[in-house]
Amino acid sequence: MVEINEVKEGGHSREHRTATHTHIKGLGLDEYGAAKKIDGGFVGQNEAREACGIIVDLIKSKKMSGKAILLAGGPGTGKTALALAISQELGPKVPFCPIVGSELFSAEVKKTEALMENFRKAIGLRIKETKEVYEGEVIDLTPEEAENPLGGYGKTINHVIVGLKTSKGTKSLKLDPSIYESIQKERVSIGDVIYIEANTGSVKRVGRSDAYATEFDLEAEEYVPLPKGDVHKKKEIVQDVTLHDLDIANARPQGGQDILSMMGQLLKPRKTEITEKLRTEVNKVVSKYIDQGVAELVPGVLFIDEVNMLDIECFTFLNRALESSIAPIVILASNKGMTTVRGTEDYKSPHGLPADLIDRLLIVKTLPYNHEEIRTIVMKRAKIESLLLTPQALDRLAQIAMSTSLRYVLQLLSPAGILAKVNGRSEITVDEIEECQVLFLDARRSTKVLEDSKGYL
């Protein structure tokens, strides 16, 4: 007898992969838009979070399209975390496209083309279609075979009989052999809930009927209730795409039967630029759909980190793109003060952005963290990484962060956890922290080591 035991809630810990911003769940604001002291993975940065909360409200009410925000602050003050929190607040249906300034300098396409591509990825289109569908639980699935017209012993599928049942009644359908192929691809069997589009004949398996969800069924299935209403009905289907998806779909050549088309399909597709003419045509069709009420434009967010890495050509292009009738919300982030604008020789400007672009921006500042905030951040990060710290070790890390940086301290956590295991401890103590400090240098000490060693070279 095979032993099968139920795992109780909390009795089974799963390994989670942690990234730099795994702990960020939202902006952590109350119903009045005021920042809670510690919430959503955030600690401190109250003014910046409240400002971003207003931006989220503007985006949701569609009053922010074509505008830009600059998150300005030192390294490790939470600029990227704020941008990610904005995307969390907007939800999965609003496109969020994060890039780094240096990404645009690609060998394959022009930097302005790469910038425009990311602009289009950040603009969504919600298409609502009313389709005629046949929906229900499969009660009969019988392929009708016929003699193969080409001779031989094989049989061909002439048509397929599908019986569908809803809470209101049943209907038997006689379907084309091509639809039977779709049914096989979706692995449909009796007891599954499916819907068939009347116009295209495409088949979608929704799940297994909950009538089959018995206590003896060990299959990891998604059970769905029996559909209501008639088998044949009109259903509204919502599809979310980005403008870049439409550009790509229209730019891809529909290959013919000639040898060049076949060769093109076999070879690795090379990234090519999409012409301005094509984008204009796509925009026309999109505008037509919006006017007809078939589609709705969803301006998303384009986040450009290290924006000071862009050059003067990109900035002028960005200015023009922001004025376009179809534009996303652009969030820029920079940790530079007065610095030379890239691509110019001696033109210095705040944050490395030209003056005409800065005038367009709403600037949100991020401030350095104090001792208590750093202590809380380290504690939260240790919890995410399943590490235990003694209060003295926590204080020591906060003290080190004040003289070095928050990022340096957070990077010491994992190695300190390994040293604690080696030393046979369940908690990280001050000893492990100090040993990690000796093994891994911060920027200031590593620079001093190299400067001191110059005399020996």
* Token representation of residue 334: 């920079």
Closest listed residue to residue 241, CA positions, set 296, 285, 301: 296
CA 147 from centre of chain:
51
> Any idea which of 28-42, 119-133, 143-157, 222-236 has the lowest mean pLDDT?
143-157
* Token representation of residue 89: 């607040």
Residue 3: pLDDT band (50, 70, 90) is low
For the chain, give the mean pLDDT. Answer: 80
> Any idea which of 111-125, 192-206, 363-377, 397-411 has the lowest mean pLDDT?
192-206
Q: 270 pLDDT exceeds 70?
A: no
Q: 453 pLDDT exceeds 80?
A: no
| pLDDT value at residue 13 | 42
- Percent of the chain surpassing pLDDT 90: 2
| pLDDT value at residue 269 | 53
- pLDDT (mean) for 180-190: 84
> Any idea which of 21-35, 148-162, 208-222, 441-455 has the lowest mean pLDDT?
208-222
| pLDDT value at residue 265 | 47
| pLDDT value at residue 11 | 43
| pLDDT value at residue 178 | 80
| Pairwise CA distance, residues 193 & 138, whole Å | 6
CB of 101 within 8 A of CB of 310? Answer: yes
- pLDDT (mean) for 249-273: 54
Q: 227 pLDDT exceeds 80?
A: yes
| pLDDT value at residue 319 | 86
pTM: 0.67
Sign of CA dihedral 226, 228, 229, 234: negative
pLDDT tens, position by position, 11-33: 444 444 556 666 677 788 888 77
Residue 218: pLDDT band (50, 70, 90) is very low
Spatial neighbors of 365 by CB under 8 A, at least 6 apart, are: 47, 48, 72, 73
| pLDDT value at residue 240 | 83
| pLDDT value at residue 292 | 84
- Domains (ranges, CATH) in the chain? 38-122+300-366 (3.40.50.300), 128-240 (2.40.50.360), 371-456 (1.10.8.60)
Query: At CA 82, angle to CA 24 and CA 388, rounded to 5?
Result: 30
| pLDDT value at residue 374 | 87
pLDDT tens, position by position, 314-360: 888 888 888 877 788 889 998 888 888 888 888 888 888 888 888 88
pLDDT tens, position by position, 284-314: 888 888 888 888 888 888 889 888 888 888 8
Residue 262: pLDDT band (50, 70, 90) is very low
| Pairwise CA distance, residues 193 & 35, whole Å | 46
| pLDDT value at residue 204 | 83
